[in-house]
A = this chain, B = another copy of it.
Amino acid sequence: MRMAEGVEWALHSCLNLAWTGPEKAVTATRLAAYYDLPAAYMNKQLQALARAGLVFSTPGPGGGFRLARQPEQITLMDVVAAIEGPEDAFRCAEIRKRTPDASPSSLRGPCLIDQSMRRAELAWRKELAAQTLADVKEQVERTAPDVPAHARRHLAA
- Which residues in A have some Cβ–Cβ distance to B below 8 Å? 1-5, 7-9, 11-12, 15, 34-37, 76, 84, 87, 89-93, 95-96, 98-101, 103, 105-109, 112-113, 116-117, 119-121, 123-128, 131, 135-136, 139-140, 143-144, 146-147, 150, 154
Query: Cα distance A108–B125 when bound, in Å?
Result: 29
Task: Check A131–B116 contact: CB distance below 8 A.
Answer: yes
Is there an interface contact between B117 and A84, defined as CB atoms closer than 8 Å? Answer: no
So how many copies of this chain end up in the complex? 2
In the bound complex, how far is the Cα of B125 from the Cα of A93, in angstroms?
22
Give min CB distance, A81 to chain B, whole Å. Answer: 10
Q: How far is the CB of A156 from chain B (nearest CB, A)?
A: 13
Query: Which one of B5, B112, B140 lies within 8 Å of A140 (CB-CB)?
Result: B112
Is A12 within 8 A of B105, CB to CB?
Answer: no
Give me the 10 closest cross-chain CB pairs, A-B, nearest first.
A124-B124, A120-B127, A106-B144, A123-B127, A109-B143, A35-B95, A3-B89, A123-B123, A120-B128, A101-B150
Q: CA–CA, A112 to B103, complex, Å?
A: 50
Nearest CB of chain B from residue A47's CB, rounded to whole Å: 19
Pair A146/B105 contact, Cβ less than 8 Å: yes
Q: Do the beta carbons of A89 and B89 come within 8 Å of each other?
A: yes
